[in-house]
Amino acid sequence: MTDTSADLVILGGGSGGYACAFRAAELGLSVTLIEKDKLGGTCLHRGCIPTKALLHAAEVADSTRESSQIGVKASLEGIDMDGVNSYKDGIVTKLHKGLQGLAKAHKVNYVEGAGTLVDANTVEVDGAHYTGNNVVLATGSYSKTLPGLEFGGRIIASEQALNLDHVPEKVVVLGGGVIGVEFASVWRSFGAEVNVVEALPHLVPNEDESSSKQLERAFRKRGIKFSTGVKFTGAQQTDEGVTVSLENGETLEADLLLVAVGRGPNTAGHGYEEAGVSLERGFVRTDERLRTNLPGVYAVGDIVPGLQLAHRGFQQGVFIAEDIAGLNPPVIDEAGIPRVTYSNPEVASVGLTESEAREQYDKVETFTYDLAGNGKSQILKTPGSAKVVRAADGPVLGLHLVGERVGELISEAQLIYNWEALPEDVAPLVHPHPTQSEALGEAHLALAGKPLHVHG
| Residue 149 zone, left/alpha/beta (φ > 0; ψ -120 to 50; rest) | beta
Residue 456 pLDDT more than 60?
no
pLDDT tens per residue across span 340-371: 999 999 999 999 999 999 999 999 999 999 99
Structural domains in the chain, sorted by start = 3-142+264-334 (3.50.50.60), 155-261 (3.50.50.60), 345-448 (3.30.390.30)
Give 455: exposed, middle or buried? Use CB within 10 Å, 0-12, 13-18, 19+: exposed
The average pLDDT across 418-430 equals 96
pLDDT tens per residue across span 270-288: 999 999 999 999 999 999 9
Check 433, 444, 453, 455 and give the catalytic one: 433
Q: What is the pLDDT of residue 453?
A: 74
Half-sphere exposure of 271 (CA within 13 A, CB side): 15
Q: At what angle do helices 48-65 and 178-189 cross, to 10 degrees?
A: 40
pLDDT tens per residue across span 170-204: 999 999 999 999 999 999 999 999 999 999 999 99
Residue 200 DSSP code: S
Distances 143 to 49, 126, 140, 151, 379 between C-alpha atoms, Å: 16, 26, 11, 10, 38
- The reply to whether the predicted model has a pTM over 0.85 is yes
pLDDT tens per residue across span 132-185: 999 999 999 999 999 989 999 999 999 999 999 999 999 999 999 999 999 999
Instruction: Name which of 182, 189, 143 is nearest 46 in CA terms.
Output: 143
Residue 46: count other Cβ atoms within 10 Å of its Cβ: 22
Q: Is 202 among the catalytic positions? A: no
Amino acid sitting at position 363:
K
The vertex-424 CA angle with 422 and 425, nearest 5°, equals: 70
Query: At 1, is the pLDDT very low, low, confident or very high (cuts 50, 70, 90)?
Result: very low
How far is it, in rounded angstroms, from Cα 430 to Cα 446?
15
Residue 454 pLDDT more than 90?
no
As annotated, the binding site for NAD(+) includes: 175-182, 198, 262
As annotated, the binding site includes: 52, 115, 139-141, 175-182, 198, 262, 302
The average pLDDT across 6-31 equals 98
Q: What is the pLDDT of residue 455?
A: 65
Q: At what angle do helices 81-105 and 15-26 cross, to 10 degrees?
A: 30
Instruction: Name which of 111, 144, 82 is nearest 308 in CA terms.
Output: 144
The average pLDDT across 401-422 equals 97
More confident residue, 73 or 1: 73
Mean pLDDT of the chain: 96
As annotated, the binding site for FAD includes: 52, 115, 139-141, 302
